[in-house]
Amino acid sequence: MPFHPHARRILRSRVFRVAAAIFIVWTFLETLHIHRGLIEADQQPEHPANTEKIFLAALPWNNEYVLRTHLINQIRDLVLALGVGNVYISIYENGSYDGTKDALRDLHRELDDMGVRCRVILDDLSHADIVNARPKEPTEGWMQINQAGYEHVGVHKGDYALRRIFYLAGLRNKVLEPLEEMSKNGETFDKIIFLNDVTHTASDILTLLNTRGGDYAAACSLDFELPPAFYDTFALRDSDGDPAIMHTWPFFRSAASRHAIVAGQPTPVQSCWNGIVAMKATPFYSEFRGQALRFRGVSDSLALEHIEGSECCLIHYDNPISKDLGVWINPAVRVGYCHPGLHKAKFAYDWDLFKRVCSWAYEGVHPGPGQSWVSYWRIMRGLWENRARRLITVRWLRNWKVEHRVRAWLARDENHVEVGRSCLVDEMQVIEPHGWLHA
């Protein structure tokens, strides 16, 4: 006997209510479980005494505010935590147009007083000097600008402009120069820490160094400028080689990366940088496999296709131990960015005010003991937004233009090779007198 229309409506209504109730209960229990797990994952055991030799590398540029309000004290605290005799600090600065050089001189004096071995190079070469010394003919790392619109920064159509990534890779390699010099004298290091201009604590770096018990090719923090959105999208690639699918938790498309970050555990990725990076030092010595690992940009011939890739991403694909030991994000290490250039006129050297503002990003992802850094609402919203994004987006479509250009470039010359294809983006970045620009 067929259902009466009214009966069918009642049945559909009941089915809908049951389904809705199941959905609500499931979401509630899942959110509760994850929230509790994130709190437990943040409860770090006491750090063992450091016995490793650590090489700390930094490239400060226009960072006077952050140095004076945070970094000088944080570097001093880190040295004490690691052990003065276990640390070597290499800093290279060039062309800052604020008081960064003076701040670094103060840091250098403090390190000398502590007996810390260090090399601090303050180079007067500025971006404007680089632009003014541009070549008149093709030169490695220099690209010809074939469009107008940049005359206000001294870059004209037909000029050669220095590729930003090529330039940055060279600076990072300068910071690493003491490695080989000291190796010739029989001294090597266990780990290299690359430190950006981020607020952090010594405990954060100790936690990072102890990621997976120290068993990694590279371990990175998570960086935030405007929490809950993370900052460094340029270098981060998940375990499948994709960029983050969203800027907020749980960030990733790939199952392996997503499941780990949801559990608050070390998260497998193919590439990361994100504020602070600890890397096993072995590949950076030529004795390892005959050639020391160093930073690079993509070749000029590929860059001519309007293709670029972060040197901080490419280094992981070039690293011969990345596949064996893995590259990992440690979500227990969350650091904060602050860019003083945006606020300099407002703060007018009010160091206390600036310190409070710059601490905001860090405090935004450190709510305090017994609390999760991802709220109940953010967990629930993030899970379903991530599912929706995975459902309605297609991996291959995201970067089809870049892939088309790369395949054409590979086909033109059998000697063309690029192992870091996941790093590549549709951009060209060049140096201008006060920084850099997209061309």
Mean pLDDT per block of 10 residues along the chain (439 residues) reads: 60 71 83 95 86 97 90 96 97 92 97 97 92 89 83 78 96 96 94 96 96 97 93 95 96 98 98 97 89 96 95 98 98 86 52 74 91 96 96 84 94 94 95 87
Residues contacting 350, CB < 8 A, separation 6+: none
SS3 for the chain is: CCCCHHHHHHHHHHHHHHHHHHHHHHHHHHHHHHHHHHHHHCCCCCCCCCCCCEEEEECCCCCHHHHHHHHHHHHHHHHHHHCHHHEEEEEEEECCCCCHHHHHHHHHHHHHHHCCEEEEEEECCCHHHHHHCCCCCCCCCEEECCCCCCHHHCCCCCCEEEEHHHHHHHHHHHHCHHHHHHHHCCCCCCEEEEECCEECCHHHHHHHHCHHHHCCCEEEEEEEEECCEECCCCCCEECCCCCCCCCCCCCCCCHHHHHHHHCCCCEEEEECCCCEEEEECHHHCHHHHCCCCCCCCCCHHHHCCCCEECHHHHHHHHCCCHHHHCEEEEEEEEEEECCHHHCHHHHCCCHHHHHHHHHHHHHHCCCCCCCCCCCHHHHHHHHHHHHHHHHHCCHHHHCHHHHHHHHHHHHHCCCCCCCCHHHEECCCEEEECCEEEEC
Cα–Cα dist 218/197, whole Å: 19
The count of domains in the chain is 1
Q: Is residue 428 part of a domain?
A: yes
Q: Determine the angle formed by the axes of helices 164-175 and 177-184, rounding to 10 degrees.
A: 30
* Amino acid (one-letter) located at 42: D
pLDDT score of 396 = 78
Pair 125, 270: CB distance under 8 Å: no
pTM for this predicted structure: 0.91
- Structure tokens that stand for 155 in this block: 């870059």
Amino acid 248: pLDDT: 97
Residue 327: both structure tokens together: 């590259």
* Residue 327, in any domain of the structure: yes
How many Å apart are CA 106 and CA 100, to the nearest integer?
Answer: 10
- Whether 218 is in a domain gets the answer yes
Would residue 11 count as lying in a domain? no
pLDDT recorded at residue 11? 56
Judging by DSSP bridges, how do beta strands 142-144 and 160-162 pair with one another?
antiparallel
Q: Could you tell me if residue 14 is inside a domain?
A: no
Range of the domain at 347: 54-438
Residue 38 lies in a domain: no
In a domain, 429, yes or no: yes
pLDDT of amino acid 348: 54
Does the residue 33 lie in any domain? no
Provide the token pair at 107: 């840091």
